[in-house]
Amino acid sequence: MNKTIRRASVFTLLLVLVLLVRATWVQFYEGQALADDKDNRRNAIELYSEPLGNIIVAGDSVTGSARTTSGDLRYKRTYQDGALYAAVTGYSSQVYGATQLEGIYQDLLDGTDTRLKTVMDTVTNQRAEPGDVITTIDPDAQRAAYEALGDKKGAAVAIDPKTGKILAVVSTPSYDPSEITTGNSEVWTQLTKDEDKPMTNRALRQPLPPGSTFKLVVAAAALEDGLYSSVDEKTDSPDPYPLPLSSDKLTNENPNAPCENASIRVALQYSCNNVFGKMAVDLGQDKVRAMAEKFGFNDAEQDVPVRAYESVYPKDMDKAQTALSGIGQFDVTATPLQIAMVSAAIANGGKLVQPHMVSEITDHSGDVLEDYDANASTKEIVSSSTAEQLQSAMQTVVEDGTGSNAQISGATVGGKTGTAQHGENNSKTPYAWFTSYAKSDSSDKEVAVAVVVEQSDAARSEVSGNGLAAPVAKAVMEAALQ
């Protein structure tokens, strides 16, 4: 063999070796990354090659799978009452991925969760039969919230105070996940560019100023700290309250309300800003923050199991800002979930059971893989005495105060209204809030609710927690108690 051929042979052999090394590297070291790449079409083909497991509400599937008639994806996701349950299920799309329960439990629903595999699945390397997600949602409460919100832009959350089960999660305007499962780009563009943001889960993921509903937190802090011994003790509260280090004064919506030196009960009944502004200053921002954080504020990892956005009680405020925080303004923000948690803890004797909207997950045979009801943790937020006093004061709000629209025959109801400023110098339509609890007089059923209405067709002068949000809460409570 001459030198030229020999050199060519060696060079060719080296190229083959390099190619083999590269192929081995790709196969064994980069293979998984390539397999998991979001642009790998084979993943979608595999995911939708068989029907998915389902999300269950009260024994019925609100999701499904249907055979496709074209393309390389054999099945597509379907939804029953999609717009009604969108804030619970999220979506599973062939193009846009999966969100909320669909995303969190994707491995369970598509059969790739290792807990689903049988011995035969392992031997044959076949995908297991998919499992199901059993939710805590009460279909009657869910529908009542959805229909009561109607065309309003807003949200509602309902919780069973004794168990932590989330009975309703509604966000309006909503959308139908069925319309985007196959990747309809026109519908997707409309939804993502809509100024009303129908794909935003307002119930869990849009914190807003909570307004006077936050006064419950301040009242809890004052009673627990001993600043006041009972909800009927008169406070030291001038009306209006001069904001410290400021020429401004904190006034009340109703100038004729008996807010001067009002007790906590009367101050909640008439929603007296002067009382709670001064109370926050007297306590100091650290004590108010500590109580807010016991209820769940400033928790960046609030999973139900969908991760809720953090509700915030701010730090490093001056005394004037602290006063404003006491009435749920300045930089205080909260989700409806968080405000529902406040009422749930008060209704449950001061104890907060971990909120969750999944009861259990099961394999295809119905065997339980994880029981969230049994594993829900409980922590004491305030003493039973403080909780009882706040319950009594909240009942006064509904029976003879600003929350009269939440009264329910055959049930004991306590509540708190809120109207939060919106925009610079309150230039935009205020947010209307209502939070409450109800206990049936004839059974052991109870429920805690929070509602926010961001926008409605009501005139600005008619925007109030009692006028807009309380009727929604009433509808949800009635449905949950039936």
DSSP of 188-238, one letter per residue?
A: HHHHHH-TT-TTS-HHHH--B--GGGGHHHHHHHHHHHTSSSSTTSBP---
User: pLDDT value at position 42?
Assistant: 63
Residue 153 falls inside a structural domain: no
Task: Report yes or no: 447 and 474 within 8 Å, Cβ to Cβ.
Answer: no
Residue 73 falls inside a structural domain: no
User: pLDDT value at position 41?
Assistant: 58
* Residues recognised as catalytic: 212
How deeply is 367 buried, as exposed, middle or buried, from its count of CB atoms within 10 A (0-12, 13-18, 19+)?
exposed
User: pLDDT value at position 459?
Assistant: 67
Domain CATH for 424 = 3.40.710.10
Q: Hey, what amino acid is at 61?
A: S
Residue 136 falls inside a structural domain: no
Residue 11 falls inside a structural domain: no
Domain span holding position 425: 205-481
End-to-end CA distance of the chain: 95
Point out which residues pair with 358 in neighbouring strands: 135
User: pLDDT value at position 37?
Assistant: 53
Count: domains in the chain? 1
Residue 133 falls inside a structural domain: no
Point out which residues pair with 301 in neighbouring strands: none
**Could you give the CA distance from residue 134 to residue 53 in angstroms, rounded to a whole number?**
11
Residue 368 falls inside a structural domain: yes
Token pair 């995908």 is found at 127
Beta pairing, strands 368-371 & 358-362:
antiparallel
| pLDDT by 10-residue block (mean), the chain, 482 residues | 75 81 70 54 69 97 91 87 98 94 97 85 77 98 98 97 98 97 93 96 98 98 98 98 94 95 98 98 98 98 97 97 97 98 98 98 96 96 98 98 97 96 71 98 97 82 88 98 94
User: pLDDT value at position 30?
Assistant: 60
User: pLDDT value at position 424?
Assistant: 61
Residue 438 falls inside a structural domain: yes
User: pLDDT value at position 35?
Assistant: 52
Of 385, 47, 122, the C-alpha closest to 229 is 385
User: pLDDT value at position 17?
Assistant: 83
Residue 242 falls inside a structural domain: yes
